[in-house]
Amino acid sequence: MASTVEGGDTALLPEFPRGPLDAYRARASFSWKELALFTEGEGMLRFKKTIFSALENDPLFARSPGADLSLEKYRELNFLRCKRIFEYDFLSVEDMFKSPLKVPALIQCLGMYDSSLAAKYLLHSLVFGSAVYSSGSERHLTYIQKIFRMEIFGCFALTELSHGSNTKAIRTTAHYDPATEEFIIHSPDFEAAKFWVGNMGKTATHAVVFAKLCVPGDQCHGLHPFIVQIRDPKTLLPMPGVMVGDIGKKLGQNGLDNGFAMFHKVRVPRQSLLNRMGDVTPEGTYVSPFKDVRQRFGASLGSLSSGRVSIVSLAILNLKLAVAIALRFSATRRQFGPTEEEEIPVLEYPMQQWRLLPYLAAVYALDHFSKSLFLDLVELQRGLASGDRSARQAELGREIHALASASKPLASWTTQQGIQECREACGGHGYLAMNRLGVLRDDNDPNCTYEGDNNILLQQTSNYLLGLLAHQVHDGACFRSPLKSVDFLDAYPGILDQKFEVSSVADCLDSAVALAAYKWLVCYLLRETYQKLNQEKRSGSSDFEARNKCQVSHGRPLALAFVELTVVQRFHEHVHQPSVPPSLRAVLGRLSALYALWSLSRHAALLYRGYFSGEQAGEVLESAVLALCSQLKDDAVALVDVIAPPDFVLDSPIGRADGELYKNLWGAVLQESKVLERASWWPEFSVNKPVIGSLKSKL
Amino acid sequence: MASTVEGGDTALLPEFPRGPLDAYRARASFSWKELALFTEGEGMLRFKKTIFSALENDPLFARSPGADLSLEKYRELNFLRCKRIFEYDFLSVEDMFKSPLKVPALIQCLGMYDSSLAAKYLLHSLVFGSAVYSSGSERHLTYIQKIFRMEIFGCFALTELSHGSNTKAIRTTAHYDPATEEFIIHSPDFEAAKFWVGNMGKTATHAVVFAKLCVPGDQCHGLHPFIVQIRDPKTLLPMPGVMVGDIGKKLGQNGLDNGFAMFHKVRVPRQSLLNRMGDVTPEGTYVSPFKDVRQRFGASLGSLSSGRVSIVSLAILNLKLAVAIALRFSATRRQFGPTEEEEIPVLEYPMQQWRLLPYLAAVYALDHFSKSLFLDLVELQRGLASGDRSARQAELGREIHALASASKPLASWTTQQGIQECREACGGHGYLAMNRLGVLRDDNDPNCTYEGDNNILLQQTSNYLLGLLAHQVHDGACFRSPLKSVDFLDAYPGILDQKFEVSSVADCLDSAVALAAYKWLVCYLLRETYQKLNQEKRSGSSDFEARNKCQVSHGRPLALAFVELTVVQRFHEHVHQPSVPPSLRAVLGRLSALYALWSLSRHAALLYRGYFSGEQAGEVLESAVLALCSQLKDDAVALVDVIAPPDFVLDSPIGRADGELYKNLWGAVLQESKVLERASWWPEFSVNKPVIGSLKSKL
């Protein structure tokens, strides 16, 4: 298969232009085309190429070098592009079901072009759309059609000005009035204004609004989602009683209009309640298929996971772009050398390799994990859709929730740190806006925050693991989960007796070494967290206090180590499967080992609490990371060629595939607006001279 | 003195408005006014207040909420403000000599208002000004007057498109023509264009241009600075042969116009050479007071240090602002609580304390260090000015160079990480542009890059230490330096035998514990680096290769540990001196211990290679950091009150001194432009509906 495509269809994977990157490309230990086919498959490569080519050939998506877009203009352009995506209809709903991985692929392609576009499209079609689909019932299907025809435009309104993480404290109310069979949506004050809602600022006509549902003469029933019309689709003017506006400029993603809304006794029909989890009869009686609030909450975990899994993918696309830019730059930027005459590419320096190559490895490992977790989620959602209420289905929901809640922080933080490193590794040129590293950093930043603050999300994962341990201690239950991510914990007393036995760097260059260490680490942190929690409780702390006191040194590293182990495990298995072409095994094995050991090395101090001992262990780990970096540096450019989108999409003069760093940069600088022109305000220097100290008397 | 000011002059340190921050202010263990007076002194407080009040009362400095400034408009505004600073003349040249600390204080005040303003002013007056002053001779004094009267506007042009760090490879040439007694400044091609030069984009009339000096029939004499007119002050149009322009938008500091210039055989008079380090006779003979290039380079270290020391101060001002915003937010934002009814400020969570309070401690420790290093530099410069050529003066230059080259990376990275943590710790509201954390991050970023990439600078410091050790090994020399930062190394074999003996958290809550550990760490890393370097050389590596191979795991941590130790040592001595008012000793001691232990904890894995052993050491260190955070959380708001500028300067709705988080934020959102207005492009949604899939056939 590979050979057909390589031979017969050069259009799918065309050769790169010749230039300064040739030297590295020639030294690569593998064929980038073969790796691209192995990683993505021909169908997916074709799908991505279709999208990228459509954008490149459509003037609406033309890049405008040097343009100083106003906020309003950028939002208009982003809306027009979003509309155009509907005209292209790259992925029909049927295709989504047939090839689910095309959903994150589409989002990655749009996000590589511009995060604001991916966000706008995703929030309307998938977040708003699935909220209606998965929380509503048959009576709401009409909205789904309107969403995909863009007759309405949607947003998802949960967060309020004064409450985000603590959703239980959300204060918008929905009182049912049986006389008119309506709910009255109301914001008690501005602190309860819905806030930060993507698409709400200027575009949305409808919102899924979360409000406390109350029926007459009865207590309130907690948060429920309502579909509320906030603007008239014919005019985009607000509906009566709705004060809706734009929250203003953000650090990034400024093509997206985040907004706020306050509701002044806005009446909506009873049918506006998205009633999958609970409903109100015309007379005003609350009914729910779930026994209690806790069970109802459990059933909604799936949709929470779905947002988090998407964010993993959004984060990684940013890291792909950043790493591609920084590594192509590093392979062509020369500075210093063994003699004064000869300068070498900065990629030849062990320091530069150590700064960048682990993030390249992280891209490969996390991207694989992201896809595999997405497929797990699809399995979960198919179960939900088919009404599967088995214990396994419930367990699967909990496991995916635990993995998603920790992998979203891992991916968003790895990307945040990786982009920063890439920015700095490109020196001043990394600080020039046109080279795009700043935009990537700014656009990635909300991934650390929305759908749950990273640090708070990690508690979900540590709580999951602590719950399993408690179950084992009290009921003698085995550690078993549908995706097997916790099964190794069954052997945990034995694992804790293990020690790091590797004494040479050569023995360390395999992800299996890191896997063993990670297993010890997770077992150790799980035991310590459990003991510390119980000790806090015994000494009089409430549950709330005890958990808070255990988070920094225990729960947080536990959750991170657990998800890192899972990422490493899955990538290790992936690169060691028999179907890996022999010519790719070496490079994939190194990527796997590098990501694993580099991640592990950040826990070295913890490993010294029982797994490591002596000077050598830490040294071996450090040296192994450096050795792998050195082994991978000649493959770096080819590995980037696999993950980088076309130049038009990458949009960074220092990161272009031809490697003509300075020609591209210089050309782009000269194309900017008014580069060589005198400033319009020149007389302020030349004519209106200051009188030094003339205002001193005013001080 | 303190009592007089507190009683008699409430205008200097006025009370804060009452509000939600009162509870924390009431719980503080000390008087913020007393600490402000102790830290700054009355004269400095008055100086800063004068500057802040002038800016607040001058409409040219009015904040414009919601304004979407174009690049050109922002640059105009920043230029006008810079000019206005000359009209205020806050600090005369005589005052600079009398009270040198007012120089960084002025820069901090301007930078707190806007980094672009500080940069523009600093680059013209101090960087360009001191380059002319310290590299030129009497014949250039006329320029100094013109600089301070703003008759000319200056920039400092060293970096080229293809060369920054490796200054020896700079390719602009200056050939001397005895026939006309002129130098011919020439850029061989666009890769040698001067690039990134601040103020060059639109404003500068003159540049200090570094070029390779060549005289006829002789070899070239390396880089020399020339003062070159690039624009006509009467018109701001470029001089003949000079192609000068703006490099475009950057990640931050966009009020500053960074530019490029290419010189096409531009003739300048012989006197344009800034001839302190070397000169050319009218006939074309090169003469220099220095024996060789190396010695000439050594003599220029002082001016390199000066830029780096300034950057330490620029970085810290950003961290001060970020920490102030995030801690006031954390003291007023409530989320979750022990019961569903009661929510507590997020500052009460150990996680939030651990995320933010170490950076608060870092501000105090680094700010003190920054001032003390600035005073050391003043001593050095006074020696240079008075012609001191003693061995001590040379040693002082080397020691300051080593400290500046590592403290610039330490301060800029600590700030980079600190601002990011503050941004995330404020959740979504930290991502809103008006709250300023994004601007601070973007404006701080170049501090990691200019005046030397952080990772490259650290080599200067490790080389300094390795040089001292080699001197000791080969010549039996003692470790002695004028500022005594290396003197402890004399005891280094003994220090390496020491072990961590502290077994309880209570015994650990003092910076002395960290100091002892840091001394071991520096000795350990120095020995290891030295051995590794020699081992690499013995196994055939060239000097160049050997140093590159030793940097990641050895030289880099060595330089960082050494400078951290120096920062900790100086702050430790400062807070334990007898003149500290008794009421401030507890809080200052905790700040010192927290910064020291928190910094140290990042080296825990290295400490386990010989100083730490067993599970307990690492646990005690972690627990001590958390204990200090907990002890400091009630003092956090008062500590912020000492370092935060007035609200007008801080310019962050969520960080205002009244603590009215939501009222301020909501008010600011509603004041933005067209918040509630319908988008101008509404018909693009309401009228021009997309036909779904209409472009599919084009794919």
In degrees rounded to 5, what are phi and psi of residue A679?
Answer: -65, 145
How many inter-chain contacts (A to B, CB under 8 Å) are there?
Answer: 385
Q: Which region among A265-274, A624-633, B288-297 has the lowest average model confidence (pLDDT)?
A: B288-297
Which parts of A510-555 fold into alpha helices (H)? 511-538, 543-550
Side chain identity at residue B685, one-letter code: F
Give the type of residue at A485.
S
The DSSP bridge pattern shows strands B206-214 and B173-177 to be parallel
pLDDT on residue B167 = 87
Query: HEC profile for B191-223?
Result: HHCEEEEECCCCCCCEEEEEEEEECCCCCEEEE
Long-range CB pairs of B546-551, under 8 A, 24+ apart, other chains included: B547/B459, B547/B463, B548/A349, B548/A350, B548/A351, B549/A350, B551/A350, B551/A351, B551/B455, B551/B458, B551/B459, B551/B462
Chain B nearest-CA residue for A427: B449
Q: Give me the residue label for tokens 């993030």.
A: A359
- Judged by CB atoms closer than 8 Å, whether chains meet at A248 and B432 is answered as yes
In this structure, chain A runs to a length of: 699
A497: exposed, middle or buried (Cβ count in 10 Å: 0-12, 13-18, 19+): exposed
Q: How far is B385 from chain A (nearest CA, A)?
A: 27
Q: What is the pLDDT of residue B2?
A: 40
Nearest residue in B to A69, CA atom: B70
CA B468 – CA B490 distance, rounded (Å):
10
CB contact under 8 A, A626 and B430: no
- pLDDT band at A305; cut points 50, 70, 90: confident
Residue B679 with chain A: CB contacts under 8 Å: 72, 75-76, 79, 202-203, 236, 257
Please write down the HEC assignment for all residues of A84-124.
HHHHHCCCCHHHHHHCCCHHHHHHHHHHHHCHHHHHHHHHH
pLDDT computed for residue A299 by the predictor: 66
Residue A148 clears pLDDT 90, i.e. is over it = yes
Q: What distance in Å separates residue A250's CA from the closest CA in chain B? A: 4
C-alpha span between B386 and A200 (Å, rounded): 66
The pLDDT of residue B8:
45
Burial (CB < 10 A; 0-12, 13-18, 19+), residue B288, is middle
Q: What is the pLDDT of residues B556-609, one digit of tens each?
A: 999 999 999 999 999 999 999 999 999 999 999 999 999 999 999 999 999 999
Reply yes or no on whether the pLDDT at A491 is more than 50: yes
Nearest-Cα residue of chain B relative to residue A333: B162
What one-letter code names the amino acid at A385? Answer: A
Residue A695 to residue B432, Cβ atoms within 8 A: no
Cβ neighbours of A658 (radius 10 Å): 17
Kindly identify which residue of chain B lies nearest to residue A694, measuring between CA atoms. Answer: B87
Instruction: State residue B277's pLDDT score.
Output: 87
Task: Answer whether B675 sits within 8 Å of A248, measured CB to CB.
Answer: yes
Calpha distance B174→B264 (Å, rounded): 11
pLDDT digits (tens, 9 = 90+) for B6-39: 444 568 999 999 999 999 999 999 999 999 999 9
Q: Do B236 and A686 touch (CB under 8 A)?
A: yes
Beta-ladder partners of B197: B259
Q: Locate B529 and state its tokens.
A: 């680096």
Task: Look up residue A677 and give its two tokens.
Answer: 């022109």
**pLDDT score at A287:** 94
Give the pLDDT of residue B301. Answer: 66
3-state secondary structure of B154: strand
How many whole angstroms separate alpha carbon A437 and alpha carbon B366? 29
CA distance, residue A497 to nearest chain B CA (Å) = 14
Asked if residues B324 and B418 have their Cβ atoms less than 8 Å apart, the reply is: no
The answer to whether A561 and A525 have CB atoms below 8 angstroms apart is yes
| Residues ≥6 apart with Cβ < 8 Å to B25 | B16, B32, B637, B638, B641
Q: Do A662 and B162 touch (CB under 8 A)?
A: yes
Residue in this structure with the two tokens 């496991």, named with its chain if needed? A399
Is the Cβ pair A679, B202 closer than 8 Å? yes
Report how far apart, in Å, the C-alpha atoms of B121 and of each of B12, B81, B303, B364 are: 26, 9, 18, 26
Q: What is the mean pLDDT of chain A?
A: 95
pLDDT band, residue A6 (cuts 50/70/90)? very low
Which one of A244, A685, A688 would you mutate to disrupt binding with B, by most B Cβ within 10 Å of its Cβ?
Answer: A685
pLDDT at A293: 67
Q: Inform me whether the pLDDT recorded for A367 exceeds 90.
A: yes
Amino acid, single-letter form, for residue B79: F
Query: Three-state SS for B579?
Result: coil
Top-confidence range, A133-142, A522-531, B377-386: A522-531
Mean pLDDT, range A233-248, rounded to an integer? 98
Asked whether the predicted pLDDT for residue A2 surpasses 60, the reply is no
Chain B environment of A244 (Cβ under 8 Å): 676
Task: Identify the three-state secondary structure at position A326.
Answer: helix
Only one residue has tokens 């000649």, namely A634
A168-186: average pLDDT: 97
Which residue in this structure is represented by tokens 């009914």?
A: A287
What's the half-sphere exposure (Cβ side, CA atoms, 13 Å) at B398? 19
Paired with A156 in beta bridges are A208
pLDDT, tens digit, for every residue of A27-81? 999 999 999 999 999 999 999 999 999 999 999 999 987 778 999 999 999 999 9
Backbone φ and ψ of B85, nearest 5°: -60, -35
Grade residue A288 by pLDDT with cuts at 50, 70 and 90. confident
Q: Looking at beta carbons, which residues of chain A come within 8 Å of B80?
A: 681, 684
Measure A438 CA to nearest chain B CA, in Å. Answer: 6
CB–CB contact A251 B70 (8 Å): no
Output the pLDDT for position B9: 53
Contacts of A441 in chain B (CB under 8 A): 251
Nearest-CB residue to A168 (from B151, B340, B606) = B340
Query: Which residues of A fall within a CB distance of 8 Å from B610?
Result: 615
Contacts of A450 in chain B (CB under 8 A): 428
Q: Given this model, what pLDDT does residue A388 score? A: 87
Q: Which chain B residue's Cα is nearest to A343?
A: B169
Which residues make Cβ contacts (< 8 Å) with residue A537, sequence separation at least 6?
A543, A546
Give chain B's residues under pLDDT 50.
1-8
- Pick from B698, B689, B693, B690: which is nearest to A88 by CA? B693
CB-nearest to B690 from A87, A355, A676 is A87
Mutate to test the interface with B, among A435, A681, A688, A698 (most CBs of B within 10 A): A681
CB A199 within 8 A of CB A131: no
Active site residues of A: 451
Q: d(Cα A30, Cα A639) in Å, to the nearest integer?
A: 9
Note whether B619 contacts A609, CB cutoff 8 Å.
Answer: yes
A354 contact residues in B (CB cutoff 8 A):
552
- The three-state secondary structure class of A443 is helix
Active-site hit among B34, B451, B528, B660: B451
pLDDT at position A290 over 90? no
pLDDT band at A389 (very low <50, low <70, confident <90, very high): confident
pLDDT for the residue numbered B578: 97
DSSP letter assigned to residue B271: G
State how far the alpha carbon of B189 is from the alpha carbons of A335, A695, B161, in Å. 18, 46, 10
Q: What is the pLDDT of residues A672-688, one digit of tens each?
A: 999 999 999 999 999 99
Shortest CA gap B389–chain A (Å): 30
